[in-house]
Structure 1
Amino acid sequence: MSSPYNSYAITSVKKALNALKTILEKAEAHAKEKSIALDDLFNARLYEDMRPLSFQIWAATSNAEKVVFRPRHLEPPAREQTDQTFEDLYKRIDVSLGEIANVDVADIVANEDKPFKAPLGPKEIEFKPVGYAVEFALPNVFFHVVTAYNILRKEGVPLGKMDYLKNFLELY
């Protein structure tokens, strides 16, 4: 069964969440080595009017789950943003990876041509599964993962481009 979901969307969100886990682990190790309070990183922002690191993890995982739920005409489980620790952030990522791993791609393929509506701010927009993944959900996942990366770089965590990209490549 060949589907963009099988080869691209689901694989991409898994890799993006694993990249997020990688950069969080490196940030935690750096904080311990440099005696930086993890709360400082947890609540760090790129700019005062932007959301903190903890929100970026919540948004990345929420959007990743939507990639596999909405095309099946289901809403993902509501997960409140209640994280308080790095351990909570890892657990959130693992829960999302588990939800994604449990999806039968055939259920998505069966709905490939069936539009669904998804909220976008105060509006509802009609999407087909591939359009939703490529035009909305995946860009959102990547945005929040990269924003988390950028927050941690701003805080002095020695991250490099490959800390993000290596999770997407089969070379490592």
Structure 2
Amino acid sequence: MTSQIYTETIPLLKKGLQTLLTILQKAESHAKETNTPAPDLITANLIADMKPLSFQIIVAIDTSLKLLARASFLEPPTTKPPTTTPTFEDLTTRLTKTIADLENADPALLAANAGKTFKAPMGPNEIEFTPESYAARFAVPNFFFHVVTAYSILRAKGVPLGKSDYLTGFVSL
């Protein structure tokens, strides 16, 4: 028996993280070609009160890891914001490691926990979820909010990205 989390959600998150890798590589190339300092892109945002590109990528990673932990009924990893501005290499390393973590998910553990309930903090409240409802109602929407925001920040900063840079990884299942 396999779980929906293993067969549908994890592959979707892996594709989204691959998309982030692709657009991050294009951003790094663009920075080199245009002599743009890397921190100018990594700390860029769309509007003054919005978190920067690095935050968007880190939250997408953390959302993936929290879903995997919660669906496995393990304690989610605690994340600490970086104390310095991450580099393209730092973000690429984190993305690559997270993809590997998702690839190494234990299908039997995920299947054994399908439909079981747990509580997760949401702001000042705790909400009861199953792994499936957590994925559908929080993790996947939150994940894609940050993936699309990262894409949008880079587009706004002149990185030559198009719709195919975003969609190609999802189409090639």
TM-score by length of 1: 0.95
2:86 matched to which residue of 1? 84
Work out the CA distance in 1 between the residues paired with 2:158 and 2:130: 41
2:13 matched to which residue of 1? 13
Aligned partner of 1:151: which letter? I
1:137 matched to which residue of 2? 139
Are positions 1:156 and 2:158 aligned together?
Answer: yes
The alignment partner of 1:36 has SS state of coil
List gaps (5 residues or longer) in structure 1. Answer: none
Aligned partner of 1:61: which letter? I
Percent sequence identity over aligned pairs: 51
Work out the CA distance in 2 between the residues paired with 1:12 and 1:81: 25
Contact 2:2/2:108 (8 A) holds in 1? no
1:73 matched to which residue of 2? 73
The alignment partner of 1:148 has SS state of helix
Tell me the CA shift for residue 156 of structure 1. 0.6
Q: Deviations over 1:105-134 (max 9, x none)?
A: 211111112101111111111001111111
List gaps (5 residues or longer) in structure 2. Answer: none
Work out the CA distance in 1 between the residues paired with 2:135 and 2:91: 24
Tell me the CA shift for residue 162 of structure 1. 0.9
- Match among 79, 96, 99 for residue 97 of structure 1: 99
Contact 1:9/1:67 (8 A) holds in 2? no
TM-score by length of 2: 0.94
